[in-house]
A and B are shown apart, each in its own frame.
Chain A
Amino acid sequence: MSHTSELLRFSTAGSVDDGKSTLIGRLLYDSKSIFEDQYETLRKSTEKRGEEGVNLALLTDGLKAEREQGITIDVAYRYFSTPKRKFIIADTPGHIQYTRNMVTGASTANVALILVDARNGVLEQTRRHAIISSLLQIPHLVVCINKMDLVDFDEKTYVKIQEEFEQFASKLDINDLSFIPISALQGDNVVSRSENMSWYEGPTLMYYLENVHIGSDHNFIDTRFPVQFVIRPNNDEYHDYRGYAGRVAGGIMKKGDEVMLLPSGFKSKIAKIDTFDGELNEAFPPMSVTILLEDDLDLSRGDMIVRENNQPDVAQDLDMMVCWFNERPLMLNGKYTIMHTSNEARCIIKEIQYKLDVNTLHRNLDDKKVVMNDIARVKLRTTKPLFIDAYDKNRITGSVILIDEGTNETVGAGMIV
């Protein structure tokens, strides 16, 4: 295999019978990412369960409980690569009771792959996947209209579903939307072009995944460098070395740039961008580097390096959409630990504004009991200022998690509005 250049993460969501597992199985099989011994294990497991053929779902449903119940519960990560790209699939369950797993899988995805059964058209579940993908700001959304073989590869059926979806999607915040008619079972338009659908002139799914432009998915405009760790070697060779290690969350940082430090407001210049492999002239997302400043200032974890003329909001009152993960409901006036970039504080939930119906986008202003898998708009106040951007501007500086102070569990994920 020649050198693969880019990494693309995509999420899928689906239930048992919409062909999701068959599609993933086919992508893996056709890119030679399923191995013979894996295939043999699958064949044996399928046989043991009294089923026919090879159940590719058993490949992704790795836990005992999932295999027993025949459902996907947790996010499973799958890998394949082609000469053009390496792919990471976050394979998530589609059922409403696993909305939180869908949200988890979507949080780092470049592309959301939504499956529609051509016989059924746009269903509640389809809308839910699209809403969550839009809420999580997945940059690209591709709708695969599957099982075209079962509707005689009919163009009109495809067009009707496309129009229905587009009409619904116009209410959402989706930048890049594509449609592909496929048959995962027979392989039409998955890796090779379908001979049964000559009316379709767009790319195959594999071509789409290999070529969709992901170069602009990061924010390269607004410089944000959360300090993660301070490197101080304390030895003779590096006596005065004080490096701020972290991952660039936004913008392009260059040696010599004038920068401002938050929360102090002090100004300095980038003296050096350091790595194990030597000095760099510039750093951009998602690189992990070490920044050295010209002045001897006191920066620590949770602080942020930005540009003076382009600063994030420094705020203690945050407005956000929260997805709830825990069996214990969100508590109004409840206190939680909040993690944001490399920063951590405590917070109190001041107001629950509405609950969002993830099937219809309806804002429920009456029922404000936020339980597991609910998505709600809330206001909260933190014990100290955080350096934030809106989530739709930067997925890193616009996201938080909430932690229960008693159990230490991650109970909520927030996207700053």
Chain B
Amino acid sequence: MNYNLDYLKELESESIYVIREVATQFENPVIMFSGGKDSILMTYLAVKAFHPAKLPFTLLHVDTGHNFDETIEFRDNLVSRYGLKLVVGSVQEAIDEGKAVEETGYNATRNYLQTNVLLESLEKGKYDAALGGGRRDEEKARAKERFFSHRDEFGQWDPKNQRPELWNLFNGKKKFGEHFRVFPISNWTELDVWQYFKVENVELPSLYFAHKRQVFERDGILLADSEFIQKKPEERPFEAMVRCRTIGDVTCTGVWKSEASDIDGIIEEVSTTRQTERGGRADDKRSETAMEDRKKQGYF
């Protein structure tokens, strides 16, 4: 008899262990749900972790108001299928109430405004642990992230003073007003995620698969033509076969020319591509340490 666990099962087992640990160490956990594949994976694993009981966590979606329509539709279907509880934090409301000021110009994005809305939503819901779908292979600052990541009362991350994490012992102790970010799928790579989706036959938003869309090019990146992005006069939209590798806000999510119309096609594409998935994220390109800077302030 062979007692070697398949690597996808080992990753699954590790993530489920971490998710269950959250349920026992915290009083009021919440899943940060963006509608992207990583948060879908995390939600799916969380449903598995507590089967046959219901998922004891709420989903929190920070809505910039600049979404792909498909994201919202998918989110609402998921919520009803698993009987989940959804809370939406709205960037539009924050702007309307004067708590946030919208960026203007060609590169305007609400990505940065999300951080405050996220922190405010966490405070309002009195959530003491927020689960995120961050993966260490995504970005160099995330490569340093713990599974259980402590945040002070301002929601800030202190990368130089992180708690050591050994074996499978997770220290979620905190003072009143502090909270934790937890990253159950830290050890998954983009390819692992897709291979798991294939094995598990998980349903995904259509945006991930190649489809025809009006796009335009800016700084070498293809962006979806949308009412939320101000185009420069020379930027002319054209139709192309594209798909998203990550899904964020429309204003900063690049789309890729692709013919991958099913999971097999995507696995083939991901394992041969020479560009990282965040290569199309304008928000990461603002500076060399854009992600670390945002994370310190409380971005997920």
Chain A: residues with CB nearer than 8 A to chain B? 1, 3-7, 32, 35-38, 41, 45, 59-60, 62-65, 67, 73-79, 81, 85-86, 88, 100-101, 103-104, 107-108, 214-215, 218, 220, 228-229, 231-235, 237-238, 241, 245-247, 252, 274-277, 284, 286-288, 290, 301, 325, 337, 339-340, 342, 395-396, 399-401, 403, 408-410, 413
Known: A77-B187, A228-B24, A286-B5. A413 touches B166 (CB 8 A): yes
B80 CB–A CB distance under 8 Å: no
B48 CB–A CB distance under 8 Å: yes
B60 CB–A CB distance under 8 Å: no
- For the A-B complex with A214-B4, A286-B10, A288-B49 known, give 15 more contacts whose Cβ atoms are closer than 8 Å: A1-B271, A7-B11, A103-B164, A228-B17, A228-B21, A229-B24, A245-B20, A245-B49, A275-B48, A275-B51, A284-B5, A286-B14, A301-B24, A410-B165, A413-B164
In this complex, how many residues of chain B approach chain A with their Cβ under 8 Å: the count is 64
**B20 surroundings in chain A (CB, below 8 A):** 228-229, 245-246, 288
Complex alpha-carbon distance, A399 and B165, angstroms: 12
Shortest C-beta distance, B238 to chain A (Å), equals 23
**A7 surroundings in chain B (CB, below 8 A):** 5, 7, 10-11
Query: Is A276 touching B167 in the complex (CB atoms < 8 A)?
Result: no
Shortest C-beta distance, A234 to chain B (Å), equals 8
- For B10, B143, B189, B292, the residue with the greatest tally of chain A CB atoms inside 10 Å of its CB is B143
13 A–B contact pairs at CB < 8 A? A32-B274, A62-B142, A62-B143, A63-B159, A74-B162, A76-B143, A77-B136, A77-B186, A86-B189, A107-B167, A245-B49, A284-B5, A339-B171
Complex alpha-carbon distance, A75 and B186, angstroms: 14
Complex alpha-carbon distance, A359 and B274, angstroms: 42
Chain B window 47-60, contacts with chain A (Cβ cutoff 8 Å), 1 for yes, 0 for no: 11111111000000
B262 CB–A CB distance under 8 Å: no
Complex alpha-carbon distance, A50 and B140, angstroms: 21
**A38 surroundings in chain B (CB, below 8 A):** 276
Query: Is A74 touching B144 in the complex (CB atoms < 8 A)?
Result: yes
**B17 surroundings in chain A (CB, below 8 A):** 228, 247, 288
B257 CB–A CB distance under 8 Å: no
Query: Is A401 touching B16 in the complex (CB atoms < 8 A)?
Result: no
Closest residue of chain B to A337 (Cβ to Cβ) is B173
Query: Is A103 touching B166 in the complex (CB atoms < 8 A)?
Result: yes
Complex alpha-carbon distance, A344 and B273, angstroms: 46
Known: A100-B164, A108-B167. A41 touches B16 (CB 8 A): no
Query: Is A287 touching B144 in the complex (CB atoms < 8 A)?
Result: no
Known: A286-B10, A288-B17. A399 touches B274 (CB 8 A): no
Query: Is A325 touching B164 in the complex (CB atoms < 8 A)?
Result: yes
Known: A5-B4, A276-B47. A63 touches B167 (CB 8 A): no
**A409 surroundings in chain B (CB, below 8 A):** 163
Shortest C-beta distance, A111 to chain B (Å), equals 15
Q: Which of A77, A241, A246, A252 contacts B3 (CB 8 A)?
A: A252
- For A35, A247, A276, the residue with the greatest tally of chain B CB atoms inside 10 Å of its CB is A276
**A400 surroundings in chain B (CB, below 8 A):** 169
Closest residue of chain B to A226 (Cβ to Cβ) is B168
Q: Which of A6, A233, A337, A395 contacts B53 (CB 8 A)?
A: A233
Complex alpha-carbon distance, A109 and B195, angstroms: 24
**B3 surroundings in chain A (CB, below 8 A):** 215, 218, 220, 252, 284
Closest residue of chain A to B270 (Cβ to Cβ) is A1
Complex alpha-carbon distance, A287 and B6, angstroms: 10
Q: Which of A78, A104, A287 contacts B165 (CB 8 A)?
A: A104
Query: Is B164 touching A104 in the complex (CB atoms < 8 A)?
Result: yes
Closest residue of chain A to B174 (Cβ to Cβ) is A408
Query: Is B164 touching A288 in the complex (CB atoms < 8 A)?
Result: no
**A45 surroundings in chain B (CB, below 8 A):** 288
**A67 surroundings in chain B (CB, below 8 A):** 289
B95 CB–A CB distance under 8 Å: no
**A76 surroundings in chain B (CB, below 8 A):** 143-144
Known: A62-B143, A74-B144, A400-B169. A238 touches B2 (CB 8 A): no
Complex alpha-carbon distance, A337 and B172, angstroms: 12
**B159 surroundings in chain A (CB, below 8 A):** 63, 65, 74
Query: Is B7 touching A4 in the complex (CB atoms < 8 A)?
Result: yes
Complex alpha-carbon distance, A59 and B139, angstroms: 10
B160 CB–A CB distance under 8 Å: yes
**B162 surroundings in chain A (CB, below 8 A):** 74
Complex alpha-carbon distance, A1 and B191, angstroms: 10
Cβ-closest 10 pairs across A and B: A62-B140, A276-B48, A7-B7, A408-B173, A107-B166, A233-B53, A276-B51, A1-B271, A288-B16, A37-B279
**B204 surroundings in chain A (CB, below 8 A):** none
**A287 surroundings in chain B (CB, below 8 A):** 5, 9, 13
- For A60, A62, A85, A275, the residue with the greatest tally of chain B CB atoms inside 10 Å of its CB is A62
Known: A86-B192, A286-B5. A247 touches B274 (CB 8 A): no
In the complex, chain B residues 255-285 whose Cβ is within 8 Å of any chain A Cβ: 267, 271, 273-276, 279
**B54 surroundings in chain A (CB, below 8 A):** 233, 235
**A241 surroundings in chain B (CB, below 8 A):** 52-53
Q: Which of B140, B169, B173, B267 contacts A399 (CB 8 A)?
A: B169
Closest residue of chain B to A302 (Cβ to Cβ) is B24
Complex alpha-carbon distance, A245 and B49, angstroms: 8
Complex alpha-carbon distance, A64 and B290, angstroms: 10
Shortest C-beta distance, A19 to chain B (Å), equals 20
In the complex, chain B residues 15-52 whose Cβ is within 8 Å of any chain A Cβ: 16-17, 20-21, 23-24, 47-52
Query: Is A63 touching B160 in the complex (CB atoms < 8 A)?
Result: yes
